[in-house]
Amino acid sequence: MAHPAQLGFQDAASPIMEELLHFHDHALMIIFLISTLVLYIIVVMASTTLTDLYTLDSQEVEIIWTVLPAITLTLIALPSLRILYLMDEINDPHLTIKAMGHQWYWSYEYTDYEDLGFDSYMIPTQELVPGQFRLLDTDHRMVVPTQSPVRLLISAEDVLHSWAVPSLGVKMDAVPGRLNQATFIVARNGVFYGQCSEICGANHSFMPIVVEAVPLEHFENWSSLMLEDA
């Protein structure tokens, strides 16, 4: 959960998000080094050593400013591709959930269970109780077990939506007539908040996402209670 005056990302709650944070720091350091080098060159440009005709026409300088960017791009591209492939891997998911975007709420269907599904609406401000977050809490949370691979099938019924939870490193567009999928593993217990990240209409800011991660035995108890109430 973000807090006032926070700088940087939310704490990672999944292995993918941890990888994304490491990659962010890696790329930021490369950008810092490039910026420092460019600033140094600008500062010393007034000297004749960098502006005389011999230096500007030097073959060595041509080689340096061709090879260095190539190396820099390689250092950024390799870890980036690795994370992209990790995000696409789906190895024997323990649970599959279908998330459907509507104007303006989400509905969830646990496809491994018969008749386990519900709509998730934002709790109006006047109905909030102490401890709940305005514009973020919902009447029904998407409950998942921790330390278990979860496959999320995402689509929309009307317009474009986007299912995004920053702490889990998941952001996937919900497109009408198309089924996208994402996978994640929640590493720790907790409640993680997200919002629709696609401008989907007048009430776009009123369709939050709440994921509650609990131990497996608690998830089984929750699913049994939900099936009894269905």
* Chain segment 53-81, per-residue pLDDT in tens: 566 666 777 888 889 999 999 999 999 99
Q: Answer yes or no: is 4 within a domain.
A: no
139 & 183 share domain: yes
Number of C-beta neighbours around residue 101 at 10 A: 26
Task: With cut-offs at 50, 70 and 90, classify the pLDDT of residue 82.
Answer: very high
pLDDT at 193: 95
Per-residue pLDDT band for 88 (boundaries 50, 70, 90) equals confident
144 and 60 in one domain?
no
Name the nearest CA neighbour of 148 among 93, 212, 204, 89. Answer: 93
Q: Are residues 121 and 224 in the same domain?
A: yes
The pLDDT score that the predictor gives to residue 8 is 80
Instruction: Give the structural domain span for 106.
Output: 95-229
Note the pTM of the prediction, 2 decimals: 0.85
Q: Do 137 and 76 reside in the same domain of the chain?
A: no
Same domain, 170 and 193: yes
The predicted pLDDT at position 5 comes to: 77
Confidence band, pLDDT 50/70/90 cuts, at residue 148: very high
As to burial, measured by CB atoms within 10 angstroms (0-12 exposed, 13-18 middle, 19+ buried), residue 74 is exposed
Instruction: Single out the residue in 54, 88, 122 at which a domain terminates.
Output: 88
What integer pLDDT is reported at residue 10 of this predicted model? 85
What's the domain count of the chain? 2
Same domain (yes/no): 56, 123: no
Q: What span, in angstroms and rounded, lies between the C-alpha atoms of 105 and 50? A: 60
Asked whether residue 77 falls in the same domain as residue 148, the answer is: no
pLDDT recorded at residue 71? 92
Q: Does residue 8 sit within a domain?
A: no
Residues 50 and 137 in one domain: no
Residue 54 shares a structural domain with residue 157 = no
Look at residue 138 in the predicted model and tell me its pLDDT. Answer: 96
Domain presence at residue 9: no
Mean pLDDT of the chain: 90
> Could you tell me how many residues make up the chain?
230
Q: Which of 42, 68, 88 is the last residue of a domain?
A: 88
| 187 domain residue, yes or no | yes
Same domain, 75 and 105: no
